[in-house]
């Protein structure tokens, strides 16, 4: 009998394949990084073939290393970097251009050109999103206008659009399935989150033919089956969810008011608002948390563009650390109030600022400043940006009483202590920090009948370690005021 759930976790800098047991326990995994491309200032791209091959090879590797076959897998769930945009030929499957990554800012000027507040309000009312280059709609528009012949082919019904989940599904099923789920659809700036459909007025605004768009499914649904040549047999694909929504699900945040923050390439704080799509007045996003059996659960989200990516920058560009985990020990041995602040606006600032033209800065340097202070400041920036989001939520009347955390950076105890200090709340780390992959495994298990309900899933969550505030209110306020001053210097 099939006994494992396979999660494909396709992230911004790497792809992972993780096997879970039918009890929701992590069994085995494989991971592979792939290149990032930066053709111009503010542009971020992925090679679609490199992205696909990293997914395929990790899936094959985790099966081979554990001597498993397709018949051992109950189902596949896909979770993915959201908003990243691909367009390909419907007949040949050839992608017309590199994947334009969610961090990419090339369409900021296009967004600025829409100067009508009524249009901006309409976008937010329908999609829950702020008009910004972050989302897929303007990226599709750019591809159609800038790739020779693309507009004509799209108008003729020959091109398809997909976020990464849809692209992977297309590859896995040999072009038989062109589908997405409600969470990924909700991040395109083309999907009406109240009516649960693609919006004709928004498609017209961004000049995108409806024929390009995938069918929108529940998060747990029958998405198709893999072509048998990939894994020596067919495997059903039973779940999809954008990475942050999958993490919320994996953290068992099923009750209104529960919140999680995933600290990966970026950082994303998401709070469950139940069946109400609350509208933020403080530049946070309203999004679909998950959709099961046609019933929608909503969330409020704050997006930080640079978290783990800042530490990756220290490693790859500045070359002042050998590996990301080195930052923890260095921060432990550096005084907290060292006066240095790193505002990581490498691709602009996300929530609550939404400033695409801001650029990174290191401020407060003195003759005493060095490598250790810069590394500490990079970690601290993650906590300070989390505080920005907490403040915005508080202004919207949403209080964080505690926070569940996950993602690669959640393994850094020093960072979680400092986040707890800055937010003045308890921070809880689960025993499985790969909650993005776990969440989509849960969804796969629900569709496969392994799990009966979200109530059952709630009983599986375990806290591995809690972090409580340690520093004084005065020190916290002093540090945060200095951070806000540093941010003010980079805003355009």
pLDDT 10s digits, 345-394: 998 888 899 888 889 999 999 999 999 999 999 999 999 999 999 999 99
Domain match, 202 and 238 both: yes
Domain match, 425 and 315 both: yes
Confidence category of residue 230, pLDDT binned at 50, 70, 90 = very high
- pLDDT reading at 433 higher than 90: no
Q: Is residue 439 part of a domain?
A: no
Q: Is residue 443 part of a domain?
A: no
Domain with 129, as residue range(s), is: 4-244
Domain match, 219 and 270 both: no
Across-strand partners of 406? 262
Instruction: Specify the CATH number for the domain of residue 47.
Output: 3.30.420.40
Domain match, 226 and 352 both: no
Domain match, 336 and 387 both: yes
Confidence category of residue 134, pLDDT binned at 50, 70, 90 = confident
- The predicted pLDDT at position 288 comes to 96
How many domains does the chain fold into? 2
Confidence category of residue 447, pLDDT binned at 50, 70, 90 = very high
Domain match, 150 and 206 both: yes
- The predicted pLDDT at position 491 comes to 86
Domain match, 258 and 226 both: no
CB-based contacts of 373, cutoff 8 Å, min separation 6: 334, 338, 339, 340
Q: How far apart are CA 309 and CA 150, in angstroms?
A: 32
Reduced to 3 states (helix: H, G, I; strand: E, B; else coil), residue 488 is helix
Reduced to 3 states (helix: H, G, I; strand: E, B; else coil), residue 440 is helix
On average, the pLDDT of the chain sits at: 94
Domain match, 365 and 232 both: no
pLDDT digits (tens, 9 = 90+) for 68-105: 999 999 999 999 999 999 999 999 999 999 999 988 98
Q: What is the pTM of this model?
A: 0.89
Domain match, 236 and 365 both: no
Across-strand partners of 158? none
Q: Dihedrals φ, ψ of 58, to 5°?
A: -70, -35
Domain match, 175 and 215 both: yes
């Amino acid at each position: 009998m099939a006994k494992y759930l396979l999660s494909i976790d396709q992230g911004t800098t790497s792809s992972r394949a993780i096997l879970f047991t039918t009890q929701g326990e992590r069994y085995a995994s494989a991971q592979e990084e792939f290149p990032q491309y930066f053709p111009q200032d503010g542009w971020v791209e992925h090679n679609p073939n490199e992205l696909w091959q990293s997914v395929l090879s990790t899936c094959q590797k985790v099966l081979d290393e554990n001597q498993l076959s397709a018949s051992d897998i109950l189902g596949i769930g896909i979770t993915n970097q959201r908003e990243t945009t691909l367009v390909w030929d419907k007949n040949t499957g050839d992608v017309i251009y590199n994947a334009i990554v969610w961090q990419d800012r090339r369409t900021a000027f296009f967004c600025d050109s829409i100067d009508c507040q009524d249009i901006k309000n309409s976008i937010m009312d329908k999609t829950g999103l702020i008009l910004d280059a972050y989302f897929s709609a303007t990226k599709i528009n750019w591809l159609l206008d800038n790739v020779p012949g693309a507009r004509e082919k799209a108008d003729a019904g020959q091109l398809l659009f997909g976020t990464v989940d849809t692209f992977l599904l297309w590859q896995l099923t040999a072009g038989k399935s062109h589908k997405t789920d409600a969470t990924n659809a909700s991040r395109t700036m083309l999907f009406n989150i109240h009516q649960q459909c693609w919006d004709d007025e928004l498609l017209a605004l961004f000049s995108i033919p409806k024929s390009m768009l995938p069918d929108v499914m529940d998060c747990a649904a029958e998405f198709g089956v893999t072509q048998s040549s990939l894994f020596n047999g067919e495997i059903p694909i039973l779940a999809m969810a954008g990475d942050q929504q999958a993490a919320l699900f994996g953290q068992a945040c099923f009750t209104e008011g529960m919140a999680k923050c995933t600290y990966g390439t970026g950082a994303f704080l998401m709070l469950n608002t139940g069946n109400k799509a609350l509208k933020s007045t403080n530049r946070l996003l309203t999004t679909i948390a998950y959709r099961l059996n046609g019933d929608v659960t909503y969330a409020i989200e704050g997006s930080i563009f640079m978290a783990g990516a800042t530490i990756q920058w220290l490693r790859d560009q500045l070359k002042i650390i050998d590996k990301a985990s080195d930052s923890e020990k260095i921060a432990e041995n550096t005084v907290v109030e060292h006066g240095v602040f790193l505002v990581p606006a490498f691709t602009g600032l996300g929530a609550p600022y939404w400033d695409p033209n801001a650029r990174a800065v290191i401020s407060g340097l003195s003759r005493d400043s060095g490598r250790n202070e810069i590394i500490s400041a990079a970690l601290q920036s993650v906590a300070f940006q989390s505080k920005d989001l907490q403040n915005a939520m508080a202004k919207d009347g949403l209080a964080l009483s505690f926070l569940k955390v996950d993602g690669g950076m959640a393994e850094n105890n020093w960072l979680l202590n400092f986040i707890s200090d800055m937010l003045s709340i308890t921070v809880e780390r689960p025993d499985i920090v790969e909650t993005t992959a776990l969440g989509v495994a849960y969804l796969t298990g629900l569709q496969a009948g392994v799990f009966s309900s979200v109530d059952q899933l709630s009983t599986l969550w375990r806290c591995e370690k809690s972090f409580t505030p340690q520093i004084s209110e005065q020190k916290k306020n002093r540090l945060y005021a200095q951070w806000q001053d540093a941010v003010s210097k980079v805003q355009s």
